[in-house]
Amino acid sequence: MRLFVGLGNPGAKYQGNRHNIGFMVLDEIARRHGFAPWRRRFQGETSEGHIGNGRVILLKPTTYMNESGNAVGEAVKFFKLSVGDITVFHDEIELPPAKLRVKIGGGIAGHNGLRSISAHVGNDYRRVRLGVGHPGVKELVHSHVLNDFAKAERPWVEALCEAVADNVALIVTGQDASFANKVHLAMQAKGFGKDGDESGPKPPKN
């Protein structure tokens, strides 16, 4: 069994925020793979289904970002999962828009949702980092992630969610590099995330 966690904040106010791209990806996975209706439990919303031959639980914590680990910890305990069974989908300001990277463990780069999860279950879970770009100035990061995607950004956001959902079976079977490559190629085919396209403000150097 795998636990897929999407990070975001609950409520209509935050629905279109960059910080909520993890929720958006899980909604598309549930839709694309015919998962059961969402229901409330574990301080969040869950949906169950199968991807390939694997059983997958989708979890959207509804505790607000800073307490995401509460929901993840409850689900892990209930299903008796190991940290290696967890994949977290989250926004990543250090990646350009429409880019994606996968890693296991590592730092949290100031992401409060990851910080909370690591405090509850340890640090060695898989992260699918979904690039939302950096505003270019550290002081603007908070408002950047808590603002909605601009209308001009929505096509690539939808394309990225679809590419992740289409290829997520590779995550279930542990083929992380193949998954990332398939998503990259799918985004290129749709005209997004081309090699060398690093336009937009860059993160400040330390």
Give just the sign of the alpha carbon dihedral 182, 24, 86, 67.
positive
Report yes or no: 7 and 88 within 8 Å, Cβ to Cβ: yes
What pLDDT does residue 200 have?
Answer: 40
Alpha-carbon dihedral 28, 140, 129, 46, rounded to 10 degrees? -40
Length of the chain: 206
Q: Is 19 assigned a catalytic role?
A: yes
Residues of the chain with pLDDT under 70: 193-206
What pLDDT does residue 196 have?
Answer: 38
State the catalytic residue, choosing from 19, 111, 144, 184. Answer: 19
Domain 2-189 has CATH 3.40.50.1470: yes
Q: Model confidence over 138-148: pLDDT tens digits?
A: 889 889 989 99
- Other C-beta atoms lying within 10 Å of the C-beta of residue 171: 24
What pLDDT does residue 137 have?
Answer: 87
Phi, psi of 82 (to 5 degrees): -100, 165
Phi, psi of 97 (to 5 degrees): -55, 140
What pLDDT does residue 197 have?
Answer: 43
DSSP3 helix / strand / coil % (the chain, rounded to 5)? 45, 20, 35
Q: Is 121 helix (H, G, I), strand (E, B) or coil?
A: helix
